[in-house]
Structure 1
Amino acid sequence: MSCWYSNFLPQQYQLGTQPSRATKRLQTGQSVTLDFDKNSVVTLDYGREVAGYPYFEISNVKGPVQIEVKYTEQFDGLNHVWADGPYYFTNGLSNSFRVETFNITKPGKLESYFVQGGQRWQSIKVLTKGHITLTEVGFVPTIDHINPDNLPSTFSCSNPTYNEIWKLGANAVAAACFDANSQPSTWEVTEEGAYIRGQKPGPGVHGMDWTDYTMTFSSKIIRGGTGWSVSQPISGTGLVLLLVSNLPEETTFVNTNKTLTPRNSIVVASGWGFVNQTTLDSQLVGSFPISIDIKEGIWYKISTTLLSGSQLSIDIDGATVLNISLTDYGVSALSAGGWGFGPYQDQSALVKDVTVHASNGTLLYENDMLSSSILSEYGVRQNTEALCMDGAKRDRLVWLGDFFHTSKILTSSTSRWDYVRGTLDYLLSTQLSNGLVSIAPQMGYNTSSLKEVLYSYYGLNDYQILGVLSFTGYVQRSGDLTWARGVWSSIQKQISWILGEIDSNTQLVSFGGFLGDAKGTAISAALVQALNEAAVVADALVDTKSAQSYRDTATEISKAINELLWNNELGIYVRSTSSNTSFGVVDIAFAISSGVASDERAASSLVRLADLKLTPGYKDISTTDAASADISPNTNGFLLAAAMEVNDTAIAKYLLDSLWTAMTNDEYSTGASWEYVAQDLSPGLSLFTSQSHPWGGAPTYVLTEHVAGISAATPGHKTWIVQPAILGFDLNWATASVKTQYGQLSVKWELGNKVLTVKVTAPRGTSGNLQLPSGLQIKDVQINGYQSPPGTIIPLQSGSSIVKIQLT
C-alpha cells in the first residue's frame, strides 16, 4: 500500500480471520491479500480520527468477491454487527451506516458513494470464496488534513501529555469543521427520479403539522428494498417503513440480514430506525410478509395512510398489503409530521411522483422528484457554507450552544476564522423575528424554510446565551470587527430576546435549559458574562449606548445572584431559587468566569468541588448518583477555564491529569476530544460516544491562554496580556503562538536555577503587559539586558522582548 500525502492512509494493519488490533506498520508499496479460506480479515488503524470517502485500490481479484467494510472510532466496534452505528439522529450528509458491502468483480479503484464522518479503525472482510489483493486503502479527505504539530497557532510545554491534550481539541475541530461544498448530497437526481442509497430517511419541510394523510410515491428497487417515513418531524422520531424485494441471489449480498429484512415483506419501526443504538431508541413493530412478489428493477406505486396516529395501511399498486393498528403492537399514537425517503443499509432505490392527500381526498402536495430543488426540500443538499458540526461521526448538526468551546479552539489552533464566521452566519440565518436562533439546524436544508418548521429546534433557551458567548469569544480573539459589525444587529436582537426573559421580581433568568434551572446560578451568571463580553464588542464598534446598557443589566443580575443564590451556610452558589441546597459544576464555573463571585466566594465554591469529585473530573450536579455518572468534558471545560482565571492550578491540574489524560490512552484514543468519559476512563456512552467532539476540547485554548499565558486584552490582540502559569503544573517551560490580524504573537517561558526567562514576540503596532503570578518572590528584572523596576506587571512593546526575572 503506497503513501499519498493528500489522502488519509492507515498507519498499521493486522491480518487474520477476525478483527485484531493492528500492530504491523504498513510500508510504502506494500500490498495485502485477503482470502476467504485464510486471512479473510484485515484490520486497519489510521492512528487518529480521519474522515472522507473510503476507497480501495485493487490489483487482483479471483472471484467475484464480496467484502464487508466496517468503520468505528473505538476498536471494539469492529466486533459488532453494526460496528459503532447506525446513526439515525440526522442525515448529516454522510453514511448513516458504519458497515457497507461491495461486490468486487475486477481490478481497479473502488470508491464508496458515501462520506464516513469520522473513524480511527476500519476492517475489510472477504465474505465469499476467492481472494483480492489491495494495493492501497484509505479515505479521500472531506476535512482538513492537518498536522497538529504545525498549525498557525501552537502550544507545547515540558509535559508531553499536556502537548497531546492540547492536540485533542485541534484534531476535533479539524474533523468536525469543513469547507463549503465539501459534503456532497447523499441523493442523486436522475431522469428517472431521485436515486437514493441506504440512509436515514430525509424528511421534507412540508407537512410538519399534518396528520391523517395518505402519502403515495412510485419506487423502483435497485437493490434490496426501498424505505420511507411518515409522521416524521425534521427533528425527532416518527414511523419508519421498508419494502423488501424478493432478494434475488444475483444482487443480494451474502451478509444481508434476512431476519430483520425478510424477502417480500414490509418492515415497520417506530423511533429512530430499525435497530437501537444506545440513546437512539427504536421499537421494531415487526416484519410483515406480503403476498406480492416484489421484483427489483420494476416500478411499484406505494401508498401509506396513517390515521389517528395509529391506524396504518399500505397499498401497493392499489392492493392493500398491510392494515394494522400500531397500538396493538405497543406503539403510542404518533404526532404530526411529514414524510421522507431512505432505504436500509446496502439497499438502493429510485423514488418519483410523490403525492399527499388529506383524508377527505384533497391534494396537499405533489412532486415528480425530477428537479434538483428536492435536495434542499428533503435536507440533502450539498453544504453551501463552511461549517462546524457538533461531532465528526455523530450529531452532525450545527449546535448553537456547543459552539462555545469550538470557536475558541479554532482561534487557538487551526486559526480557521472562516469556520467560525460560516457557522455563526448559518446559525443567524435561522433567526426568527423575535430574535431566537435555531439551536441545532441541520445541513442540507434551505434555512429560510427551516424557520417555518423547526419549532422544536428553538428549545434549550440557554443555548441563546452560549451562542452570544461564541460570538463575543470569537470577536475578542480575532478582532474581526468588519464581520462583527455586519451581524451586530442580529446579535443585539438575540440579546434583546434573552433580556425579555429576565424575571422582573428576582432579576434572574426565568428559563431553564442545558446549563441548569430557571432562576438559577449557571444560566443567570452565563448571561452576566455574555452581557459584559457583548459590552466589550459594543465598545469596539463604538456603540457606547449598548455597551453601557449591557453593563448596567449585568450588574443588576450579578447583584441578584449574590443576594438570592449564595448559600452562606454551604459556602456555595446553589442551582436555583427552587433548589437551594444542590449545586453543580456549571454553577461554580460561570459564577467565577462571569465575575459574579468575589475572590472569597470563588475560593469557597471551589472548595465544595470536593463533593463532586470522581475518578476523572467532576460529576455535573451534587444530587447525581456518583455510581452511574458519566463525566462531561464540556461542563468540566467551563470549570477548567474558570479555575485558571482565579489561578487555582490544583483543580486545573487534576482535570488535565485525570479527565483529559484519559483521552490520550491509545486503547481508545482518536487523537481528538471526547463527548463523555466513563469512570473507568473509557468513552462514556459506549460505542455511541462521539470521540471527536469539540465541546470536549477546552484545554486547547486554556493551555494557550493560561499556561503559556497569551490572551487578548482588547479585540484582536491589539493590546494583549501574557500571564503564564509558572507555578502549579510542575513545568520547566511552555511556549505558544497565536495568529492575530496583526501577525504572530508568541511567548516562551523557562524556569530554572531561580531564573525565570520570558520571551515575547509581538506584532508591529501592538503592546501589552507581562503579568507574573503573585506567588513569585522577585529579586531583579531585566528587559533585553536593561534593568527594570521589579514588579509583577511589566509593560512590553511590539517586537522581541526577553525578560529575565531573578527569583529569591
Structure 2
Amino acid sequence: MKPPFISSVYFWSQIFTVLSKAAAVNQASDFTPKAFVTGTEIQWPENLPTALILDSDSPIATLDYGAEVAGYPFFEISTLDGPVQIEVKYSEPYDGLHQPWADGPYTFSTSLANGFRVETFNVTKTGKLQSSLIQGGQRWQSVRLIAGNSLTFTRLGFVSTVNDTDLEKYPSQFHSDNELFNEIWKLGAKATSFACVEKGIQVPALKTDPVKGTFFQSTRASPNVETSKLENYTLEFEAFIERSGLWWTVSQPLTYGSGLQLLLTGDLPEETTFANTNRSLTPANSILLSKGYDFVNQTTLDAYLLDTFEVPFAVHEKEWHNITTILSDGDRISVHINGQQVFNVSLDDYYTGGSEVPLSGSYGFGAYQDHSAWVRNAKVYDSNNGTLLYKDSLRDHSASAKYGNQANLATVCLDGAKRDRLVWLGDFYHASRIIGASTSRFDWTRGTLSFLLDTQVQNGELSMSPSMGYDPSTTIDAFSEEGKHPALEDYQMLGFLSFYHFIRHSGDLQYASDTWSQWQKQLKWLLSTVNSTDGLVDLTSAFLGDSSGGAAVSCLAVETLNGAAEIASALGHSSEEKRYKKSARALAQSINKNLWNENLGTYSASRSSKQKFGVPDLAWCITSGVANSTQTSKMLSSKVLGKLKLGPGYKADTTVSASDPSASISPNTNGFLLPALFMGNATNIARDLLVSVWGAMLPYNKDLAIGNDTTATGTSWEYLSVDGSPGLGLFTSHSHPWGGAATYVLTEWATGLRPLDGSEGFGYSKWLLDPQTGIALGLKKSSAKVVTGSGDILSVSWELEDKFLRVNIDAPPGTSGTVHFNGSSREFRGGRKNSASLPV
C-alpha cells in the first residue's frame, strides 16, 4: 500500500506553534526512554542501545521511560527508506502495549489531549516529527513499523507538558531510615506534579481556519457550551474529511455521559488510509450510531453500539459534504448526507442500557482514532417548525472556547495525568495536602480553588468536576440546573477542606479574606442540609457513604465546620467562629445520639442502614473528633476493622462482598483512614496499611514480596484490586493524586511534623514535632522540611542514638514550636538552629 502524504503546511505550522509554546512555558526538559529493545514482538527492555532501527527483521520497538512521563510525542529520524508508517502505543502499565487500544481509549471528557492511546504517523522525510496532541501520562511506549522499509531514530520521547518532576528540588521533603517509606512518600508527590499544570500549557486540541472552519482529530466529540438546553432539534453542518472520518454527537450532556454518538467513515482511499485502520469497527462509507461514551466498551465507560448504517454512495475524502441530523417525536433520529437519507430509526427499537435516551442536550464534534476532519457552518433548527435556533461558522478561534478546547485559563490540578483530566472538587482534598508536604506550589492550590470558585452557583455549591477547557465564569448556567449543581454533594465539603488545609499549610490569610464571602455562601448551603428533625446531614447524593443521615457525610460536615471556625477566627470574624463551632457541636451530638451503634462498636452508615458501616464512616468520625477515645478504640479494633479488611486494604463498606471479583480497594478512602489510625494509636495497623496499599504501587520488593515492575509508574494509583494489582484493569489511572495520602501522612506522623492545631498554627507559625509515632513505626531517624507562611523553610530531624533522641531544628524567625516526647515537652523558638538530646 502506498503510504499517505503528510497533511497540509497550515496544519503542521499549527503543530510547531503549539510545541514552541509548550517548550517555553514548561519547566521540565524533554522525557527520553531509559531503555528500549527492538524485535518482532513487544518485549521487556533492559538496556539503551545507541540507535533505534526499525525494519522488516525488527519491526517493533518497546520503550521504557522508567516512570510516568507526559507531553507531546516527538521522533528525530536520521535515515529513512520510505516513506513509512509507524503505529505508536502509549500505556501506563506494561500490559497495555499488548492490547489493540493500549490502555485506552479515554473518551470520558474533553481533556485537551489525545483521546486515544494509539497514534499512527506517516513519515516522508528525515528530521523531527512531533504529534500535535498531548499524551497525558505513560511509562511505556511501543513503535511498530506497519508500512514501508526502514527508518532510524536518533532520539525520541516527549516534549514535557508537566512541571519539574525532580523530587530532590522540591522545597518540602521527607526522609527516614526506612527506604520503603521514602519511596512511598514520593508516590503522591510525583503524581501531584503530573496532575497540576501551568496556565496555558494545555493548549487547544482544535485548530481553526477562516475558510475551512475547525479541525478535529483523535479527540472525543466536544459539546458546544452555548447549546446545552436544546431539544427535538435539527443539526446541519458541512464536513471535509481529511482522513478516514468524523465523529459528532447530539443530545449530549456538557460534562460526560449518555449522549448519542455518530461516526461517519468515508471511502477510505488507499493513498490516505493508514495500514492499521480498523475496517471492521469503521467500515468504509458507513455511519455508526451509539449511546454512551464511545463506540466500544471500556471498563466503567458504557457504550451501546446501536447500529451500523451503510451510506448509499461513496463519501469522498477532501470534498465538502452537507450533513443533517434530525431529532424528532421524542424517540426518532435520522441522518442525511448531501440531501440523501442514510437512516431514520426509532431509538425505542434499540437496547440502551435500560435507560431512556432524552432527545435534549448539546451537539458537538470530534474525530475517532487517527481520523481527522474540518467542520464549518453549523446551524440548529427546531425540528417541529423549522425555526433557526442557533448558528456557528466555526471559522474563528471562538470555537475552542465554545467546544471546551481553549487553553487552560488557570493553573489547575487535574484528577490525573492520562484521563479524567477534569478539575475534580472532592478529589483535590488529598492533592492540596500533598502540595503542602512536597512541592509547596501554593500557586497550584490557589489556581485550582479560584477556578472552582468561578463555578459557584446561586445556592452556594461549586461544580463537582469542571473541565479546564471551558471558561467556568461564563458557563455556569449551562453546567447547572435551576441554580444548583447536580453532583455528589459531599464533594462540597471535601472542596472546602482543600481550602482549609491550604490555609493551614500556607498561612495565606489574604487569599482567605479575598474569597471568604464565597466560602461563606457554600457553608450556608452546608448548614441548610442539616435535618431539623434528627440533626443529621441530608444530601441527595454522596460519594463517601449513605447520603441521607449518613455517618460519613455528617462527620465530614463536623470537620468542615470546625475548619471554617478556625479560618473565621484567623480572619477576626468571632461571631462566625462561634456559629460554626456551635453548629459542629450540635451535629456531633446528633451523630452520637442517632448513629453510634454499641453492638457494632462503630457508627452505623445511616439511620436506614443500622448494620452497615464503611471506611469513610470510621475515618471521618475519628478525624473530626466526633468519636471520643473509647469509641475510637472500639472502631479500630479487630472486631470492626476485620469486617472491612479486604486484600491489601479496606473495602468501601460491609455490603461489598469479599468474593466479588470486581471489588476494589480505594487508596482515596484508605487515605482518609490512614491518619485516623495514627490518631487512634493503631500504629501497627497503620504501618501494615502503608506497606500493603502503597507498597503495591512500587516496583517489586523481593524482601517484602510486594510491588510489581510492570505496573509501577513512580506515582500513586486510583484503585487496587484484591490481589494488589491495578483495580480497574487497564482503565486504572496509575498517576492519581487522590491515591497519594501517604505522602502528607508520613510527614505529619512518621517524622511527626505538623502545624499546631487551631488558627495559631496556620502557616506553621506554631508547629509541633512528635517523633513518638515514627519510633513506634520502627524508625531510628527521620527528617522533614516544609515551607512556612513566610516562604522560609522549617527543617527538622531526629535520630535515636544510644539512650537519647537527638533533635535538630532550623526554624524561620517568627515561628515557634514544641517537641513532644515521652510525655514531656520542649519549646523552641525560630530564628536560629536548635538541637537537643532527650532521654529515651
1:622: how far off? 1.3
1:717: how far off? 0.7
Alignment of 1:296-307 (within 5 A): 296-307=317-328
2:187 partner SS: helix
Alignment of 1:150-549 (within 5 A): 150-191=169-210, 192-235=212-255, 236-331=257-352, 333-335=356-358, 336-359=360-383, 360-455=385-480, 457-511=485-539, 512-517=541-546, 518-549=548-579
Aligned with 1:632 (options 666, 689, 704)? 666
In the alignment, which residue of structure 2 is the partner of 1:613? 645
In the alignment, which residue of structure 2 is the partner of 1:783? none
Extract unaligned runs of 5+ from structure 1.
Answer: 777-790
In the alignment, which residue of structure 1 is the partner of 2:10? none
In the alignment, which residue of structure 2 is the partner of 1:784? none
Moved more, 68-77 or 639-648: 639-648
Aligned with 1:727 (options 772, 775, 791)? 775
Cα shift readout 1:552-581 (whole Å, capped 9, x = no counterpart) = 110000111111111112211110111111
Moved more, 292-301 or 145-154: 145-154
- The residue type equivalent to 2:801 in the other structure is G
TM-score using structure 1 length: 0.95
Moved more, 325-334 or 14-23: 325-334
- The residue type equivalent to 1:612 in the other structure is L
- The residue type equivalent to 1:31 in the other structure is A
1:283: how far off? 1.1
In the alignment, which residue of structure 2 is the partner of 1:681? 724
Q: Is the aligned partner of 1:21 residue 2:44? A: yes
CA distance in 2 between partners of 1:740 and 1:447 (Å): 31
In the alignment, which residue of structure 1 is the partner of 2:13? none
Cα shift readout 1:345-400 (whole Å, capped 9, x = no counterpart) = 10111100000000210100011111211211111111010000111111111110
Moved more, 465-474 or 747-756: 747-756
Contact 2:636 2:680 in 1 (8 A): no
Contact 2:565 2:580 in 1 (8 A): yes
Q: Is the aligned partner of 1:555 residue 2:555? A: no
CA distance in 2 between partners of 1:309 and 1:202 (Å): 23
1:455: how far off? 2.9
- The residue type equivalent to 1:423 in the other structure is T
1:266: how far off? 1.2
CA distance in 1 between partners of 2:697 and 2:323 (Å): 49
Contact 1:260 1:287 in 2 (8 A): no
1:603: how far off? 0.8
CA distance in 2 between partners of 1:348 and 1:792 (Å): 69
Aligned with 1:737 (options 760, 769, 785)? 785
- The residue type equivalent to 2:543 in the other structure is F
In the alignment, which residue of structure 2 is the partner of 1:788? none
Contact 1:17 1:38 in 2 (8 A): yes
Pairs aligned (count): 783
2:711 partner SS: coil
1:5: how far off? 7.5
In the alignment, which residue of structure 2 is the partner of 1:107? 126
Contact 1:204 1:340 in 2 (8 A): yes
Cα shift readout 1:300-325 (whole Å, capped 9, x = no counterpart) = 11000122443121111212122222
CA distance in 1 between partners of 2:169 and 2:377 (Å): 52
Task: Go from structure 1 to structure 2 and tell me whether the alpha carbon gap of 1:391 and 1:296 turns closer, same or farther (over 3 Å shift).
Answer: same
Cα shift readout 1:285-312 (whole Å, capped 9, x = no counterpart) = 2321112211111101100012244312
Contact 1:633 1:675 in 2 (8 A): yes
CA distance in 2 between partners of 1:177 and 1:806 (Å): 44
Moved more, 694-703 or 442-451: 442-451
Cα shift readout 1:7-60 (whole Å, capped 9, x = no counterpart) = 11111112111111221135xxx221011x211111111111111000000001
1:329: how far off? 3.0
Q: Is the aligned partner of 1:764 residue 2:813? A: yes
- The residue type equivalent to 2:518 in the other structure is S
- The residue type equivalent to 1:694 in the other structure is P
CA distance in 2 between partners of 1:767 and 1:515 (Å): 37
Contact 2:749 2:774 in 1 (8 A): no
2:636 partner SS: helix
1:748: how far off? 0.8
Q: Is the aligned partner of 1:87 residue 2:87? A: no
2:167 partner SS: coil
In the alignment, which residue of structure 1 is the partner of 2:693? 659
CA distance in 2 between partners of 1:557 and 1:333 (Å): 40
1:330: how far off? 2.3
Contact 2:457 2:480 in 1 (8 A): no
In the alignment, which residue of structure 2 is the partner of 1:645? 679
- The residue type equivalent to 2:690 in the other structure is L
Contact 2:618 2:673 in 1 (8 A): yes
In the alignment, which residue of structure 2 is the partner of 1:695? 738
Contact 1:437 1:458 in 2 (8 A): no
- The residue type equivalent to 2:839 in the other structure is Q
- The residue type equivalent to 1:478 in the other structure is S
CA distance in 2 between partners of 1:439 and 1:729 (Å): 37
In the alignment, which residue of structure 2 is the partner of 1:787? none
Moved more, 480-489 or 300-309: 300-309
In the alignment, which residue of structure 1 is the partner of 2:824? 792
In the alignment, which residue of structure 1 is the partner of 2:801? 752
CA distance in 2 between partners of 1:710 and 1:727 (Å): 13
- The residue type equivalent to 1:670 in the other structure is T
- The residue type equivalent to 1:34 in the other structure is L
TM-score using structure 2 length: 0.92
- The residue type equivalent to 1:257 in the other structure is N
1:148: how far off? 1.6
Cα shift readout 1:767-791 (whole Å, capped 9, x = no counterpart) = 011112xxx4xxxxxxxxxxxxxx5
Contact 1:408 1:701 in 2 (8 A): yes
Deviating runs (4+, > 6 A) in structure 1?
none
CA distance in 1 between partners of 2:532 and 2:350 (Å): 49
1:123 partner SS: strand
CA distance in 2 between partners of 1:527 and 1:408 (Å): 18
CA distance in 1 between partners of 2:315 and 2:654 (Å): 57
Task: Go from structure 1 to structure 2 and tell me whether the alpha carbon gap of 1:676 and 1:308 turns closer, same or farther (over 3 Å shift).
Answer: farther
Contact 1:640 1:651 in 2 (8 A): no
Task: Go from structure 1 to structure 2 and tell me whether the alpha carbon gap of 1:5 and 1:767 turns closer, same or farther (over 3 Å shift).
Answer: closer
Cα shift readout 1:263-288 (whole Å, capped 9, x = no counterpart) = 11112111101111111111112321
Q: Is the aligned partner of 1:590 residue 2:620? A: yes
1:472 partner SS: helix
CA distance in 2 between partners of 1:527 and 1:22 (Å): 50
1:227: how far off? 1.6
Extract unaligned runs of 5+ from structure 2.
Answer: 1-26, 699-706
- The residue type equivalent to 2:35 in the other structure is Q
CA distance in 1 between partners of 2:448 and 2:164 (Å): 20
CA distance in 2 between partners of 1:5 and 1:310 (Å): 51
CA distance in 1 between partners of 2:28 and 2:250 (Å): 45
CA distance in 2 between partners of 1:312 and 1:563 (Å): 55
